Structure 1
Amino acid sequence: MAMLYAHVIGNFLFSSFPVHAMEDEALVVKCPQNCQNRTVKWYHTQTNQLIPAEEGGRIHSSGRFLWFLPTSKEDSGNYTCVTHYSNYTKQSTVSVMVYLHKQGICFPSQIRYPNDTGTLTSGRIVCPTIDNYEKATIVKWYKDCKPLQGPREKYSMGERYLFIKRPQKTDEGHYTCYFTCIHSGNVYNVSATRPFIVKEEVSSPIPPQIQYPADNAVIQVEFGICGALLGIGKQNIAVVTWEVNGIKFSYFASYREYYGESILTIEEVKEEDLLSNFTCIALNEIDHVMLTVTLQLKVPCKGDNHSTYTTIGILVLLSIIALLLILYQFFRIDIVLLCQQICKPYKTQDDGKIYDAYVIYPKNRTNEANFVEYFVHQILPDVLENKHGYKLCIYGRDMLPGEDAANALEMRIQKSRRLIIILTPQLIQCEEIGYEHQIALYSVLIQNNIKVILLEMETIGNYAGLQESLRYIIKQQGTIKWKEKHKECPHASNSKFWKLVRYHMPLRHKPSQLNHAV
């Protein structure tokens, strides 16, 4: 609306611009200079008469501001504000033009304020100059000099703006805001007009949607977050803000392209805050929405301590269980053997079995002594039978003279609870597996009525040379390996080798009266 003129004469810097106003309304003129921490004086330009700074006069100055309370037709003229700097004096001249009210004309063409680019065309009309006045309140809006009329949901008013929902071409025109201001205890009227033009294209196809909080909600926290969807793409207007009892806190707002969020932080909740209404406002070029929430002090529940102790107790219990599971994985064999020894050292069972294990080993076809036969006939019986009470059946030792070998082998395998098979490289060298192995593997794999324990007395390698049925069993359960270090003390039943053997052996049984040795 104003054209600024500036020129330099000597050590004076001059500038001038026009101001238009209506008669009998309040007018405040701001000196355009940066007058912070400097004394500003106002003069009537024609008479060079100083305008007093005392409040109470109809025309008076107040620092950077020149007040007309109210204006009169005779006030039209030029006014100068002078500010002194270190090496020059700066002065600006304001040309004030006051217009009379005429019948049928609510505002002269010269008094129109320009379009507010980027906001007006989106449906939001800001009341011009309202920020210059103290305690200003909008009373009414006019369109083309007629009181604004239309559906209630069509228009909504804020502290300093009018919002038109889904603006159309019929909404174009000149909008005048009438507001009041209070100065030195007196109330004055002010009016301001600006045009409104509807854009052909709207960048946001959807109205804003407040995601949280819910309307009329009671928030039990020390801060509130208002989050809203603002549309699609970059927009000319996208605002999410809080109002507390009608006072805006928009400086908390932060925006992104599709989403806006405003955080209202209350460092200390006071009693008056509990009686206040907190309103979240979201608007874009299409629409505006608002909701109201209240605050409530969060009172600790009586059961909070109990819940805390319960949670801690559960966490401690879970930690103990996890620790016990880890310990059990490391000491599982020792635990099982200890339980067998303490809880049930013997068990009487009529299962038709006589032997705890039948031992199958490669027979030495020469007269030379070897460690495998010594292990089978000396070490194995000493540890399992003498020290731990198991009953073994060993070929050659437990066969009766004159028995049919085939029938005797089959019967004794069937009367045993376990099969102990000694694995050595000699099994690979055999062209065909012995009858004893055939009966044993048939019982394990086909009849599935007996479990097998594989003792690898010598390193065999990848087991490729063994019979397929043996390779299958090894793949399923593995072997118990005898190592060279065990030869130093072969009868030590607490070594890892013997613990594994005992772990896979059945519970020790006390023979029933029906089971008789063969």
Structure 2
Amino acid sequence: MYEQILHLGKDGFLMCHLNFPKSCVLDSVKWYKDCREIEGERFTSREKKLLVQNVSAEDGGNYACRARLMHMGKQYVVLNGITVNISSTLVVDCNITDTRDNTNRRCWTVNDTLVDTYYNESKRIREGFESCAAFQEHTSCTVNITFLEVRMEDYGLPFTCRAGVSAAYIMLELPAPDFRAYLVGGLGALALVAVSAVCVYNIFKIDIVLWYRSAFRSTGTIEDGKLYDAYVLYPKPQSESQSHDVDTLVLKILPEVLEQQCGYKLFIFGRDEFPGQAVANVIDENTKLCRRLMVIIDPAWGVSFGLLKNMPEEQIAVYNALIQDGMKVILIELGKIEDYTSMPESIQYIRQKHGAIQWSGDFTEQSQCIKTRFWKKVRYHMPPQRYPPSAVQLQKRAPSNCTAGPELGSRKKNCPFMHG
């Protein structure tokens, strides 16, 4: 009966100690556990070895290897019993074949010192018991060494199994780094950084773009044949009471902020055309000279009167230019519009494709601060600024104080001059 050890969670093997002279023929080795022949995908028999994959606690117990032996024309059945223990420690066997009359000591040493002596204090590494089997011409012995704990100082030491003048040694080496773990971790970290960057950009996209334009602003002009940065399209209400807010925004606040403070050039019908020109020609010619189309919608009358359905022909010409030239559109709502179904299809298309910016001011000088969220969104959708206004002009035209609006709180603060 031999004792052998399998290590939990690892692959190991059992050795059948059936050793006979060369004149004997040994074949048909079969393995048994608790008197039952071993079967299963985890077990593979190779000559005198039984390979065991992914050792579990249930693999411990009594084993036997059985074989046929032919000797001098006669057939025999030979059997070797093995007791298997499951261990979670590292055990290394040293198998020694020696002559029967050799009395040399068989042992493990490290740095020319017996292992038990070298590790006398910690007893982390110990030499096991020796087991031998005597045969007619030789002796087969096994002596093992058990590592209960491995420390950094153990790596690189030669642990030597000695039998007289013969010796064999093992040396512990640090495990190779698992590059797959580093790769997976690196890719995971990279993905996290990318997702975080995307989230941060989506949250602060407008501020980042405006800062970039301001920091790296070009002083040249754009050679695209355009004269204006935006054409302002605003519907004409049917009564004087409805026109005040729209006229204030279009004719006073927009020029004050976008033209005087930011240096943009706007074409506003009713302000910039020459007297006597045909309306359709004015709109058709000037929309082709603009880089953006800014559409103002007032929900107080836009839905009930059917925006653009009863409006002059110049507004329809603007939308024709939009379809032909593919201009980018800035849609501004003077109030929350819940339902767009009553709007013309062109407005519905613009709302779906470009979205809308909702006005958050109160038509006073406090609404002219370009640091509010509303004006940041408008400037974000406008083309990059290339011809900054005069600083003197800004100081004269910009309001001295402004309220930051709902997004920035209600406290008073100076309105800074920002371009681009």
TM range (shorter): 0.5 to 0.7
* 1:243 to partner: Cα distance: 6.5
- Does the Cα contact within 8 Å between 1:347 and 1:508 map onto a contact in 2? no
- Does the Cα contact within 8 Å between 1:423 and 1:457 map onto a contact in 2? yes
* TM-score, normalised via structure 2 length: 0.54
State the partner residue of 1:443: 321
What is the aligned-residue RMSD (CA, Å)? Answer: 4.4
* 1:477 to partner: Cα distance: 2.5
State the partner residue of 1:327: 200
* 1:469 to partner: Cα distance: 1.8
1:405 maps to a residue whose letter is V
State the partner residue of 1:408: 282
- Does the Cα contact within 8 Å between 2:31 and 2:63 map onto a contact in 1? no
- Does the Cα contact within 8 Å between 1:210 and 1:227 map onto a contact in 2? no
State the partner residue of 1:371: 245
Deviations 1:267-307 (A, max 9, x none): 322332789xxxxxxxxxxxxxxxxxxx9987324656x98
Matching of residue 500 in structure 1 with residue 335 in structure 2:
no
State the partner residue of 1:461: 338
State the partner residue of 1:53: none
The 3 A distance-change label for structure 1 pair 486 and 396 is: closer
* 1:478 to partner: Cα distance: 2.0
Supply the distance in 1 between the matched residues of 2:360 and 2:45 (Cα, whole angstroms): 74
* 1:485 to partner: Cα distance: 6.2
The 3 A distance-change label for structure 1 pair 270 and 332 is: same
Supply the distance in 2 between the matched residues of 1:214 and 1:344 (Cα, whole angstroms): 77
Supply the distance in 2 between the matched residues of 1:462 and 1:162 (Cα, whole angstroms): 80
Supply the distance in 1 between the matched residues of 2:245 and 2:230 (Cα, whole angstroms): 20
State the partner residue of 1:56: none
The 3 A distance-change label for structure 1 pair 243 and 458 is: same
State the partner residue of 2:356: 479
1:247 to 79, 82, 93: 82
Deviations 1:422-450 (A, max 9, x none): 01133331552432321222233x32521
- Structure with the greater alpha carbon radius of gyration: 1
SS at match of 2:251: helix
Supply the distance in 2 between the matched residues of 1:217 and 1:486 (Cα, whole angstroms): 90
Q: Could you tell me which runs of 5 or more consecutive residues in structure 1 were left unpaired when the two chains were aligned.
A: 1-136, 139-150, 164-206, 229-238, 250-263, 276-294, 512-518
State the partner residue of 2:55: 224
Matching of residue 359 in structure 1 with residue 232 in structure 2:
yes
The 3 A distance-change label for structure 1 pair 152 and 370 is: same
- Does the Cα contact within 8 Å between 2:294 and 2:329 map onto a contact in 1? yes
* 1:322 to partner: Cα distance: 3.3
| Equivalent pairs, count | 273
Deviations 1:462-494 (A, max 9, x none): 122211221122122221111356868210111
* TM-score, normalised via structure 1 length: 0.44
1:424 to 288, 294, 298: 298
SS at match of 2:236: coil
State the partner residue of 2:90: 269
SS at match of 1:332: helix
1:351 maps to a residue whose letter is D
Q: Counterparts of 1:385-404 in structure 2 under 5 Å?
A: 385-404=259-278
State the partner residue of 2:41: 210
* 1:362 to partner: Cα distance: 1.5
* 1:323 to partner: Cα distance: 2.6
Supply the distance in 1 between the matched residues of 2:232 and 2:377 (Cα, whole angstroms): 16
Supply the distance in 2 between the matched residues of 1:344 and 1:312 (Cα, whole angstroms): 40
More helix by share: 2
SS at match of 1:490: helix
Supply the distance in 2 between the matched residues of 1:297 and 1:466 (Cα, whole angstroms): 83
* 1:380 to partner: Cα distance: 0.6
1:375 maps to a residue whose letter is L
2:327 maps to a residue whose letter is I
- Does the Cα contact within 8 Å between 2:34 and 2:63 map onto a contact in 1? no
Matching of residue 491 in structure 1 with residue 368 in structure 2:
yes
SS at match of 2:371: coil
Percent of aligned pairs sharing the same letter = 29
Q: Counterparts of 1:45-444 in structure 2 under 5 Å?
A: 156=30, 208-211=39-42, 224-225=55-56, 246-249=81-84, 265-272=86-93, 299-301=173-175, 303=177, 316-367=189-240, 370-425=244-299, 426-428=301-303, 429-430=305-306, 431-444=309-322
2:302 maps to a residue whose letter is L
2:206 maps to a residue whose letter is I
